[in-house]
Amino acid sequence: MLDAATVDGAQQAAPTSRWSAPLGAGLAFAGLIVLGLTISLWFGHSPGWAYDFYAYYEAALRLIATGSPYQAETLSGPFQPGPFGLYLYSPPLALLFVPLTTLGEEGATILWLVLRIGILLLTCAAMPVSRAIRLAMFGVATLSAPVLFDLDLGNVSLIVTFLAVLTWRWLDRPLGSIALAVSLTIRPTMGLICAWWLLRGMWRPVAWTAIAFGVLVLLTLPFVGLAGWFDYVTVLRNVSDVTGVRSNVDLGSAVLLFGGPESLATLALFAGYAVAIGALLLSLRRDRELSFVVTLMATLLLAPLLWDHYLTNLLIPAAFLAARGRMWGLALPLLCWVPTLLVGLNGDFKGPAEGLLPFIALLGLLLPFVAPDRGEPAGLFLDRLSGRLTARPARA
């Protein structure tokens, strides 16, 4: 007998229309052409080429030389973007880069690019949607600004999106929890999904996540010790008051980009938090996949920093909407080109146009609500709990 998750996956995999297969194949083919042209013409020559890669690479070299991947700038005070990028991640990422240092910078850069293109392929292939939509998503991904910027910078946002897809594919199961635990070492706000599980009364996925994360920490201790993790906590604590920081595109920073006062920027920032939390709670009235996608997008709006490449996560609501019969959802990641087109295709992301990005993130948060439901509400546990509390007889 099929369980609810298998039934959901089978329903998701059903083709949406007769033209979804040619659309998917056409987008995938176009994506391959764009990706090839971009690699040959842009990568290696753009102003941001391998900017973040060098932060990870240098962190690995520091780890080898000193036993710590962290810099004095990130440990001594509030975060400010540096000229060559600063390392703001947990120790496992630096450890991952240690073998790459044996190849030298150029060889490591090429291998890192190849690996992440492979991860992009796996991201689309692992989505619990039909084959036609998976093909379409690969095309959309390679045509979208966040993915191309991520590949150009050598960032890890694509890895976070890949791990989020694995969590979606094995939702509420141990493999999904393990994927989430790995993502927590890159982006701590993914922990919001643990809170979502707890609101649903799902204790086991949280326990699996905690165990997997604990194992990851234990595996790193021979290399970085507890001091490395304490330093990481210090770095996270120093990432505060970042509204208006260069290239940060949270809602508060968007207000400043549009020329608004700091008081309004603070109000917008907290309004974004409120919308994200409200959407998460409201999604509990809908089915669990819809609620998961909303929660995933809420992690972006609740983060202190929102870079443009974080919006690789838009691939997930796009695929979800298309799988639920809303094929226009495929265009969601492509909207991120709008700010770039407004300021010119010169790699300079300055000016008010950049302030449109958090509103595109908001669309990714809210548009899943227009999809039809499949299955019982994600927060049915809360209804049952409320019913039991209401039905409990009063004590004499």
At 287, is the secondary structure helix, strand, or coil? Answer: strand
Predicted confidence at residue 10, as pLDDT, reads 40
Domain limits at 89? 17-391
Give residue 189's pLDDT. Answer: 96
Task: Please tell me the total count of domains within the chain.
Answer: 1
Higher pLDDT, 262 or 176: 176
Give the residue-averaged pLDDT of 89-97.
97
Q: Is residue 197 part of a domain?
A: yes
Task: Give the Cα separation of 382 and 396 in Å (integer).
Answer: 27
Q: Is residue 373 part of a domain?
A: yes
- Whether residue 64 has pLDDT greater than 50: yes
Task: Give the residue, 379 or 111, on which the prediction is more confident.
Answer: 111
- DSSP letter assigned to residue 372: P
pLDDT (tens digit, 9 = 90+) per residue, 98-154? 999 999 999 999 999 999 999 999 999 999 999 999 999 999 999 999 999 999 999
Q: Is the pLDDT of residue 218 over 50?
A: yes
Model pLDDT for residues 382-396, shown as the tens digit of each residue: 666 555 554 455 444
How many C-beta atoms surround the C-beta of residue 126 within 10 A? 16
Residue 7 located in a structural domain: no
Largest CA distance in the chain: 79
Least confident of 67-76, 241-250, 314-323, 350-359: 241-250
- Name the average pLDDT for the chain: 86
SS3 377: strand
**Residue 17: its pLDDT value, please?**
59
Q: Considering the domain boundaries, does residue 225 fall inside one?
A: yes
- How many CB atoms lie under 10 A from the CB of residue 384? 11
170 within 8 A of 350, measured Cβ to Cβ: no
State the Cα–Cα distance between residues 385 and 390, nearest whole angstrom: 9
Residue 138 · residue 31 · CB < 8 Å = yes
> What is the predicted pLDDT for the residue at 4?
43
| pLDDT above 70 as % of the chain | 85
Residue 238 in domain: yes
Element (H, E) at 12: helix 4-13
Range with lowest mean pLDDT among 89-103, 248-262, 293-307, 362-376: 248-262
pLDDT at residue 22 tops 80: no
Query: Which has the higher per-residue pLDDT, 282 or 41?
Result: 282
5 within a domain of the structure (yes/no): no
Residue 8: inside a domain: no
Give residue 245's pLDDT. Answer: 63
Contact 275, 281 (CB under 8 A): no
249 located within any domain: yes
